Amino acid sequence: MYMCQEKSVTQQDFLDLKSKVDWLEIHGASAMTRKTMWLVGEGCRCPYNYGKQHQVNAMTFPDWFLVMAKRWLGCLNLNGEDDRLIQDKDAMFPDCVNLNLYETGEHQVAWHSDDEPLFRGKFQDARIISVTLGASRKFQVGLKAPRRGGILKPERGSVANFNLGHGQICTMEGLFQKHYLHQIQKGTTRQPRINATFRYIVEHAEGCPLRRLALESKRELKHQRAHAVVELTLSQWEKGQRKGLMATVVKDWHKYAEVSASNGRKVRGAGTLEEKLLLATLRLCLHGWRGHLGVLRARASAKELHESMEMQRLNLVFVLWRLCNMEEKKEQAFGQVAEISAIAYELQQAQTSLLEEKILLEGKVEKAFEALQKELQTKEELAAELREAYSKQAMCRVCILSTLCLRTPSPPPPNIIP
């Protein structure tokens, strides 16, 4: 998918389309779903079918619409030529357009894919170019799921939402119509919207004049190719130019077979002079071509073998180079291992000496602790002796004081003077 905003789509274009087109109503099961119009190129009479209920007859492009449409699609570089023998139809200007008018948000189109037989979107690449005019509507795309009860629905979780506004161009290419569904969902807007869907008719319907013209063009092209292949093959064979001869013959024969098969004919059962002559030429060249193919295959095998040997030689040189580098790295690694071993030995010696010093320190600390305990015990014994002596001295003082008190006489009473 490709989306872009085209400034050349004007509001006047929307008003012209709405007023100039003879819209036809499309009704669903209960109400009108939208209005439509089907426009085709000069000479085409293919109708457009909406399912099995509605068929819209073709109308030729009005001149005013062609001018408008070419202005819209100018950004896509379409040449606008009407050459029905051109191989790349996508490079041409589209030869049909489906116009749909959604007057309100109630108008919508359910899940579907544009896989009508006219466009053969199920079997080959098909381009669809959609131009939006007017109100913006939600455009949904989802991966096609198997039908359930005859109802088309996308795979769960595969739906993508896009808002298509005025002037936006949206394209769907490749096998999009085979694998995906799309719809215009109902909305709440009251504004109208017009969608112009440009496409390319690949297989014209029965009764269309261009169907007969297309068949005649294919038949003429088939005969031209057959004559060219026969003339080229015979001229090269007569000149002895066998190199590349069968490649040309087979390539052109495949093209001729595709044209014949597209017309519903079996190539082997063909009976025209050109076909018989071409088959005879192919049989004549087959034997020589097989030998040529054998030589080519032998050369290709020899070339592949030579390239393989060169690759093996390069791989061997690379392996040897890596081995040399590994030897140098091995010596460096051995040197580093020796250094690391020496450092580890020194560390072990240092650890041993530290352990010895630790043991000596622990012994000294233990001896000092014992000496300190003895000294503390001695001081405690001295303190006990001092306390005992002090208590004896205090008792002696008490005894002396009590003795002195007993020996001292009491003083005489004082004289009483009357």
Greater confidence, 286 or 370?
370
- Note whether residue 372 is domain-resident: no
E-strand spans in 28-126? 32-40, 48-50, 54-56, 59-60, 96-102, 109-112
Q: 390 pLDDT band (50/70/90 cuts)? A: confident
| pTM, to two decimals | 0.53
pLDDT value, residue 226: 61
In a domain, 391, yes or no: no
Percent of the chain residues topping a pLDDT of 70: 74
Is the residue at 304 inside a domain? Answer: yes
The residues pairing with 36 across neighbouring beta strands, listed in sequence order, are: 24, 100
Question: What is the CA angle 105-108-111, rounded to 5?
Answer: 140
Q: Which ranges of 6-86 does DSSP label H, i.e. alpha helix?
A: 11-20, 63-72
**128 in the same domain as 17:** yes
**Of the residues 207, 241, 262, which one is the last residue of a structural domain?**
207
The pLDDT-based confidence of 160 (bands split at 50, 70, 90) is very high
For residues 309 and 262, is the Cβ–Cβ distance under 8 A? Answer: no
Tell me: the pLDDT tens digits for 311-366? 888 888 888 888 887 877 778 878 788 888 888 888 888 888 888 888 888 888 88
Give pLDDT, residue 82. Answer: 44
Q: Are residues 127 and 38 in the same domain?
A: yes
The verdict on 58 and 132 lying in the same domain is: yes
Residue 346 belongs to some domain of the structure: no
- Model confidence at 68: pLDDT above 80: yes
- 298, amino acid identity: A
Residues 219 and 198 reside in one and the same domain: no
Instruction: Please check whether residue 357 lies inside any domain of the structure.
Output: no
Residue 400: inside a domain: no
Structural domain range at position 282? 211-315
Q: In this structure, are 49 and 181 located in the same domain? A: yes
For residues 54 and 186, state if they share a domain.
yes
| Domain identity same for 38 and 127 | yes
Statement to judge: residues 135 and 172 lie in one domain: yes
DSSP tag of 244: T
Q: How far is CA 36 from the centre of its chain?
A: 37
Q: What are phi and psi of 193, to 5 degrees?
A: -140, 140
- What confidence tier does 195 reach under pLDDT thresholds 50, 70, 90? very high
Average pLDDT over residues 294-307: 81
* 167 CB-contact burial (10 Å; exposed 0-12 / middle 13-18 / buried 19+): buried
Picking from 272, 288, 315, the residue at the C-terminal end of a domain is 315
Q: For tokens 């040897």, what's the residue? A: 320
Name the pLDDT band for 222 (thresholds 50, 70, 90). low
pLDDT over threshold 70, residue 20: yes
C-alpha distances (whole Å) from 171 to each of 199, 267, 400 are 10, 38, 136
Q: Are residues 308 and 260 in the same domain?
A: yes
**Domain final residue pick, 164, 182, 207:** 207
Cα dihedral across residues 111, 117, 122, 124: positive or negative: negative
Query: How do strand 48-50 and strand 54-56 relate by DSSP bridges?
Result: antiparallel
Split at pLDDT 50, 70, 90, the class of 236 is low
* pLDDT exceeds 90 at position 273: no
394 domain residue, yes or no: no
Both 195 and 241 in a single domain? no
Q: What is the largest CA-CA distance in the chain?
A: 198
The residue ranking higher by pLDDT, 48 or 86, is 48
Is the pLDDT at 385 greater than 70? The verdict is yes
Question: What pLDDT score was predicted for residue 148?
Answer: 77
Average pLDDT rounded to a whole number, residues 356-377: 87
- Assigned domain for 376 exists: no
Domain count within the chain: 2
Residue 257 has pLDDT above 80, yes or no: no
* Residues 59 and 151 both lie in one domain: yes
Find all residues with CB under 8 Å of 189, minimum gap 6, and list them.
104, 105, 135, 136, 137
Token duo for residue 283: 């049989």
Residues 71 and 172 in one domain: yes
Q: According to the model, what pLDDT value does residue 90 have?
A: 54
Q: What is the CATH number of the domain that holds 30?
A: 2.60.120.590
